[in-house]
Every structure is written in structure tokens, then in C-alpha cells.
Amino acid sequence: MLSKTQWWIVGGVGALVIAIVTILVIKGKKTNMNTKDNDTDNGTDKSVDKNKNYIIGDSQTPIIDRNSKKASLINKTGSKQSLWKGGEGLGWLKSAVENYKVSTDVNTIIINIGTNGKFNVKDDISGLVSAIKDKFPNAKLLAVKGSWGWDNNKDVTTSEVNRYYDIFKKYGVKVLGNAIGKTTNPHKNLPIYAKIGEEIDKNIT
């Protein structure tokens, strides 16, 4: 049998263990609560709508939309609120995105821009990508290479186009393999758009 002193020691050790476990449990709960609060404050709610996959950019955007099953336009009418409009370049799109509401439930943003600016590497690509990440913090970012060989883009080369979109890659955007490419008229529903649409759909998860 244990003496009174031994029983006292056993009881004391047991009480100490219970106290330590209680402190750890309380600390764990506080950590979880703080994590949840931080997620809410930073607008990083991880619940996204898998059906919200938006194409933004210039006049080629609606044709890309027509050929994708999973992606769509924010609105069929081109405007700053729709984040696409014919004849516009990267600077316009960046401004439109900066004035758009924060949308944590958007799943994917597909960027189609650069054609109207002749793929100028001096475009504020980092600023555009940063603005998109701010407004769509949970979205995967994809980019579709534009078109050249027509109008003001007649003398643009493939290597110039690739250098332009390599900057998007640098800032974490996945650039798709299929480009709209060299053409005399990118506003027709060219066969390449079907391939682009298929590639977009494969990359939307």
C-alpha cells in the first residue's frame, strides 16, 4: 500500500497533468480563433464558386467566351464594370480592375490583353497582376496570348509576344500554350479559338 506521502505525490502529479492539458486546449482554441479572424480580415475566405470563371481583356474576349464551356464574361456588354472592352490595352484593364469590388468567391480569372498595345514589355504587367490578386484573392490566374499580323501589329514577331507573356509568368500567371496567333482578322471565330477554349476548360478546376 502507498503511504499518505506517496498518495499526496501521485495526486499532485495528476493535478499538474490535468492543468497542463487544460492550458494547451485553451491555447489551441485561441490560436484557431485568431486564424479565423485573420482569414476574415484579409478577405481570404477559402470558399469559392467553381462556376465563377471570368475572362477579362479586349475585343477577342467574347470569342474566347464562345469557345469555353467553363469560363464566361462578367457581362456580355463590354465596359469597365465587365472588365473587357474592344480596342483597349493593359493600362485600361488595370484601371478597371482597380475599381472593381473585392470578390473572394471567384475561382479563375482568364486574362486576354496585350494585342492593342503591341505587346509592349513596358506595360505595367506587375501592376495589373497585383490588382487582380487584390480583387480576386482566391482565383487561379490564366493568360491567353493575343494576336498579331494585322493592322498596327503587322510587324510584331512571335519572340516579342513570348517576351511579353514571360513577364506574366514571372508574376505567377499561367500562360496557356495556345495563342490566338498571327492572323489577318482575329475577330472571326477562328479554329484556334476552339483549342484555346478547350485548354482553358482543362485548366479550370
- The pLDDT value recorded for residue 26 is 45
Q: Reply yes or no on whether the pLDDT at 127 is more than 80.
A: yes
| Residue 19: strand, helix, or coil | helix
Domain spans of the chain, in order of start: 1-42, 49-203
Other Cβ atoms within 10 Å of 184 Cβ, number? 10
Q: Is the pLDDT of residue 11 over 90?
A: no
The pLDDT value given to residue 39: 42
- For 12-139, list the strands marked E by DSSP: 49-57, 106-112
Predicted local confidence at residue 23, as pLDDT: 47
User: Nearest CA to 72 among 51, 98, 103?
Assistant: 51
Domain 49-203 carries which CATH code?
Answer: 3.40.50.1110
Please tell me the predicted confidence (pLDDT) of residue 46: 64
- C-alpha 118 chain-centroid distance: 24
Instruction: Say if residue 110's pLDDT is above 70.
Output: yes
The arithmetic mean of pLDDT across residues 146-169, rounded, is 97
Mean pLDDT of 114-118: 97
Contact call for residues 141 and 172 (beta carbons, < 8 A)? yes
- The whole-angstrom separation of Cα 80 and Cα 75 is 10
